[in-house]
Copies of this chain bind each other. A is one copy, B any other.
Amino acid sequence: MDNFKFWSPTEFIFGKNTVKHVGALIKKYGGTKVLVHYGSQFAVKSGLLAEVKNYLRDEFIDYVTLGGVQPNPVDTLVYKGIELCRKENVNFILAVGGGSVIDSAKAIAAGVPYAGDFWNFFDGKVTINRSLPVATVLTIPAAGSEGSPNTVITKEEGALKRGHGSPLLRPVFSIMDPVLTFTLPASQTANGIADMMAHVMERYFTQTSGVEVTDRLCEAVLLAIIKEAPVVLREPENYDSRANIMWAGTIAHNGICGVGREEDWATHGLEHELSALYNVAHGAGLAVMFPAWMQYVYTSGIDRFVQFAIRVWGIEDTGNKKETALKGIQALKDFFSSLGLPVNFEQLGAKKDDIDQLICKLKINSGGALGNFRRLDMADARAIFEIAAKS
């Protein structure tokens, strides 16, 4: 087990009718002038935004709003948000939405007190050392951004999709009402499930040994998702199943599934190129790339893949490691398919002919190498894209 720090200070307010606490919570965390940041669809149409505004007014909290966040949130809106916050003397950012809205809110929060160009954080030139507090009202269980220190933003010019993280970006509170997810379309629900499973698996596949607690926690989250995912797709208004999926998404990415070990994150790197180029959902891209990555790397640590097959998928241990490992990978792929997720380029709408372009961007964004379970160069990355293209 490696040394680690674990700090997850976010206050999670989970359950039915919890949005009503939003005003009191903002007060508790010192917010007096709030930017309410939201997406382009759900928050307005559902009435959630109006509800949030009412709760703020009830507590006499002043606010401005900025909507229009799209999936794969872009730098241009972040700049707009930073400018608005400075002009209006905003001291608290409330994200009402899913991962894209929260990520955009985090970038704004870090950008407001920073004199330079916020993109410097994502370029790796500067570390965040101040931020406005961020909080969330979560509407899509997927990215885990409601409990994570991370944000991913796409620079429109050049379609550069980059992630950054800082403990300062962990939300001070997150309100999570599973009822808000009842109306999520099946495809978005499934994409979210692929995303949270990927967050666990990026941490599960490690060469660090002797971290049994973390292994078991990863497996626990995956097992719960595997049980509940078909239920939420079949019964979108099943409260308990929606609640389990929502909470699983948070645990998957608040860090607890990764402590004491080197994490991988190659698949996220590979996928970011797909969603940047085709503007496909991140979760859908992950459903395509994870099995492909596994097929390429499993021999570099076959015992871990055997454990994954046996403990997560209930594959019988025949003693033939290769066979067991491959059955586990196939089980994951079949599971994604059963949720209606794409598992190859064709189903995703990606093209084999674009692999050169994907590799070109990946080289810029990754610096030419990615992953830790097996360190991948661009030839490896190309091979994995090719597996995804033909499988």
List chain A positions with a Cβ less than 8 A from chain B: 1-16, 18, 209-213, 215-217, 219-221, 223-224, 227-228, 239-241, 243-244, 247-248, 251, 256, 259-260
Contacts and interface: CB of A to CB of B under 8 A. Distances in A.
Contacts of A1: 15, 239-240, 243-244
A210 to B, nearest CB: 3
Contacts of A223: 216
Contacts of A220: 213, 216-217, 219-220
B3 A18 contact: yes
Given A13-B5, A14-B259, A15-B4, A212 B224 contact: yes
Contacts of A9: 7-9
Contacts of A215: 224
B224 A213 contact: yes
A369 to B, nearest CB: 27
B3 A14 contact: yes
A248 B2 contact: no
B212 A228 contact: yes
A12 B3 CA distance: 10
Most-contacted residue by chain B among A1, A12, A228 (CB, 10 A)? A1
Contact of A7 (B4, B11, B16, B247): B11
A228 B239 CA distance: 36
A158 B221 CA distance: 46
Contacts of A224: 212-213, 215-216
B16 A5 contact: no
25 contacts: A1-B239, A1-B243, A3-B14, A3-B16, A4-B12, A4-B15, A5-B12, A5-B14, A6-B12, A7-B10, A7-B12, A9-B9, A14-B260, A211-B240, A211-B244, A212-B224, A213-B220, A213-B221, A215-B224, A216-B220, A216-B223, A217-B220, A219-B220, A247-B260, A256-B256
Given A7-B9, A213-B244, A217-B221, 10 more contacts: A1-B239, A1-B243, A2-B15, A3-B14, A5-B11, A6-B14, A7-B12, A217-B217, A217-B220, A247-B260
A256 B221 CA distance: 12
Task: Give the most central of A6, A212, A248: most B CB within 10 Å.
Answer: A212
Nearest to A252: B213
A208 to B, nearest CB: 10
Nearest to A227: B212
A181 B14 CA distance: 36
Nearest to A174: B6
Contacts of A241: 210
B251 A213 contact: yes
Nearest to A10: B7
A6 B251 CA distance: 12
A210 B243 contact: yes
Nearest to A15: B3
